[in-house]
Chain A
Amino acid sequence: MSYDLFLASIPVILEGFRLTVIITLSAFCLGQVAALPLALAAASRHRALAWPAQFYIFFVRGSPVLVQLFIIYYGLGSLEAVRDSILWPILKEPVGCAILAVGLNSAAYVGALLRGAITQIPPGQDEAARILGLNRWQGLTRVVLPQAYRDVLPVLGNEITLVMKASSLASAVTVIEMTGAARVMVSRTFAPFEVFTVAGLFYLGLALIFAWVFRHVERRAAIPGLSNRDS
């Protein structure tokens, strides 16, 4: 281990750090936004809604993120119709594709999770909400979802770390985020231990920050006296 190379790689890795954070946060948000309709569709009694959503979850959870990224970046980019569409400004950018691939992948996992949480809530609660004069929308947003989200919150903290780890795949489509920057630096200096250790420490730090934030959110969202996990 060389101390000089260790220090020299810090600024190089830091340049990729920004992109890692951008990809992680954007993909996580996209995943959350897409997961809710997906979960509601998958939990629906109408087969025309439930089957496509369940198939999506099955297919995305059954294949590697890397394949999904290549399908979006190389696959969709090869279609004439896509290149003429309004989505092209996003799809022609490797960063946009990485966010899309990782986000849509996360949506399938979170969707499956949320679906489970929604179906766990006794149907009597929704019926009671209706009798008390809440309409279907209010019953969903004020009774069902707050409970479902409290249920999945601990797992969501884990999910953002998984999204962060998946963001490293962007380096496979030429994005110079942290892993990409580290790999470029290694090919120049051939000092893999120093450079990858620095990158690893930055990832670890980011993961710890996410864990801290989610612990905080969890504590804020807990109903005093009702939580069965911790106080």
Chain B
Amino acid sequence: MIDVVGPYAGQLLMGLMLTLKVALGAFVIGLVLAVIATPLTQSGRNPLRYLLDGYVTVIRGIPELLVIFLLFYGGTVALTKLTGSYFEVDALSAGIAALAAVSFAYFVEILRAALQGIPKGQSEAALVLGLSRGQLFTRVILPQMFQRALPGIGNQWLIILKESALVSIIGLEELMRKSVIAAGATHHPLTFYLSAACLYVAVTAVSSQAFGVAERRLNPAPR
């Protein structure tokens, strides 16, 4: 097995780096947008709130692969019309954008649940103590929201990491695509797909350990 994988080890690791790049890009974009959008849409009769609810329902009901295809092919058509000349969306941008768009919906749900768990008295107390609205958000609400949302955020990171394999279908040479190429060249598909699976498992295992440590540090010691 070693002599088959050996010559391709470099390629697989390069693929893994690209996998991490795609996943990290989508994770950061999705999370940042959700952190901005969620508190804004919390207040009662906000029309944006219904828009966001609709978006979450749609994303939860359609396959990620469809979103990737939509942004990849649709992006090319839209940008070509917009710029007037042929413009092709590259697989990396389409992949990151699609995974970010999907994870954004799930992050909104996670953060909304976390926000709802914070007692209302805290905002009132902070305002009474003379904190401005901005300070209230960054010093009181945000830290607690993250603490409560951390298990969900960690779980979503693992999901994005695994979903990033789908971007191989539109041709991005990340870990999955690299193993398809190696499997085709050597006629050892089982070896390469198992190696890829092991690399994914290694990354997800390390990630969930790291998130476990972060959760323990953020949570006050149990009494």
Contact = CB atoms under 8 A, between A and B. Distances in A.
A124 B25 CA distance: 49
Interface size range on B against A: 35 or more
B69 A192 contact: yes
Interface stretch (B2-10, B122-130, B193-201): B193-201
B189 A161 contact: no
Interface stretch (A70-78, A91-99, A112-120, A136-144): A70-78
A63 B62 contact: no
B165 A199 contact: no
B170 to A, nearest CB: 10
Contacts of B65: 168-169, 171, 179
Point out which of B58, B62, B73, B197 has the most chain A C-beta atoms below 10 A from its C-beta.
B62
Contact of B180 (A70, A164, A186): A70
Contacts, number: 123
B183 A182 contact: no
Contact of A207 (B60, B70, B201): B60
B147 interface: no
B187 interface: yes
A63 B201 contact: yes
A207 B204 CA distance: 28
Contact of B66 (A58, A79, A179): A179
Contact of A67 (B64, B70, B193): B193
B77 interface: yes
B63 interface: yes
A190 B162 contact: no
Counting from the closest, the 9 A-B pairs by CB-CB distance are A75-B190, A207-B61, A168-B63, A192-B73, A64-B165, A62-B201, A74-B189, A64-B162, A63-B197
23 contacts: A63-B196, A64-B164, A64-B166, A65-B162, A66-B176, A67-B193, A67-B196, A67-B197, A70-B189, A75-B194, A76-B190, A78-B187, A78-B190, A167-B63, A179-B69, A183-B69, A191-B77, A192-B70, A193-B78, A196-B73, A200-B58, A200-B62, A208-B61
Interface of B: 57-58, 60-66, 69-70, 73-74, 76-78, 158, 162-166, 168-169, 176, 179-180, 183, 187-190, 193-194, 196-198, 200-201, 204-205
